[in-house]
Amino acid sequence: MTTAVQVRGLRKEYPGRVAVAGIDLDIEGGEIFALLGPNGAGKTTTVEILEGHRRRDAGEIQVLGTDPAHAGQRWRARIGIVLQTATDAAELTVAESVRHFAGYYPTPRDPDEVIDRVGLTARAKARVRTLSGGQRRRLDVALGIVGDPELLFLDEPTTGFDPEARRQFWALIRLLAADGTTILLTTHYLDEAEALADRVAVIADGSVVAQGTPATIGGRDRALATVRWREQGAVLERRTSTPTELIRELSRTGGELADLIVLRPSLEDTYLDLIGGRP
């Protein structure tokens, strides 16, 4: 497995504040990596630097083996970007938009194949202005992947989606990852990060405060579990590091355990602890 993104000591300052305060990151080729953090934490600045759209003040960066600050057109053809908001020619059809963008790349994917991959074949002749929010986001992804990128940046891709549209979009992202595309995702939805990401990093006040898999980040896998049950009309609970053993013990001594559940800290619980209550 090759490293797609390597960041060491990344710093960026604006007048009166430090946006990024010495971030280190490694993103392996082919993985889905999620950046999490509150508003103003430094996520967007970090991603814009990795995309080559913003200059850094210090640090070393390699994205697909190249420093984005000095990258040329050939490197840019290897990345895809899906912004949180995008502007376009609303009077073009879906097919016209994708074919137009395909012309910017030396070895693009077939536009009709891309349109099919994002689930817009039935809307290929529809003008962009007539698309629903979910369809519009699928078009954004089509424009981001038509150049056949090795690395895809997704900024808050499902903001405003209804639950069904979000699940459909997640399926699309998994398909892209299965094709070998490395994906860097920023999102405020913790369930989205848990469903999609191989690994996550939490950023707060310009620094990475934790990295790991969604299941283990912040010691989540080692946190105490809460065993809760109902006995003689009362709800009882105990916290333990060995819930299976506790349940066996309770079963031997107390008989039937009604409404038994085992609770572990959710990713949201762990995330809120890591960011210390920041908005």
Element (H, E) at 75: helix 73-76
Give the pLDDT score at 235: 87
Please, which residues have CB within 8 angstroms of residue 59's CB and are 6 or more apart in sequence? 7, 8, 9, 10, 11, 22, 23
Percent of the residues in the chain that have a pLDDT greater than 70, as a whole number: 96
Give the pLDDT score at 146: 92
pLDDT beyond 70 at 272: yes
| Span 202-254, pLDDT tens digits | 999 999 999 999 989 988 888 888 888 888 778 888 888 888 888 888 887 76
pLDDT beyond 70 at 88: no
Instruction: Give alpha helix (H) positions in 107-263.
Output: 111-117, 133-145, 163-178, 190-196, 243-254
The pLDDT confidence band at residue 199, using thresholds 50, 70 and 90, is: very high
Percent of the residues in the chain that have a pLDDT greater than 90, as a whole number: 52
Could you give the C-alpha distances from 259 to 20, 215, 244, 249, 256, in angstroms and in order? Answer: 47, 25, 16, 17, 10
Worst-scoring range by mean pLDDT, 95-104, 116-125, 128-137, 253-262? 253-262
| Span 65-82, pLDDT tens digits | 999 999 999 999 999 998
Greater pLDDT, 263 or 182: 182
Give the pLDDT score at 86: 63
The pLDDT confidence band at residue 255, using thresholds 50, 70 and 90, is: low
| Span 32-51, pLDDT tens digits | 999 999 988 999 999 999 99
Beta sheet of 225-231, edge-to-edge order: 234-240, 225-231, 258-263
| Span 127-174, pLDDT tens digits | 999 988 888 888 888 898 899 999 999 988 887 777 887 888 888 889
Task: State the average pLDDT for the chain.
Answer: 88
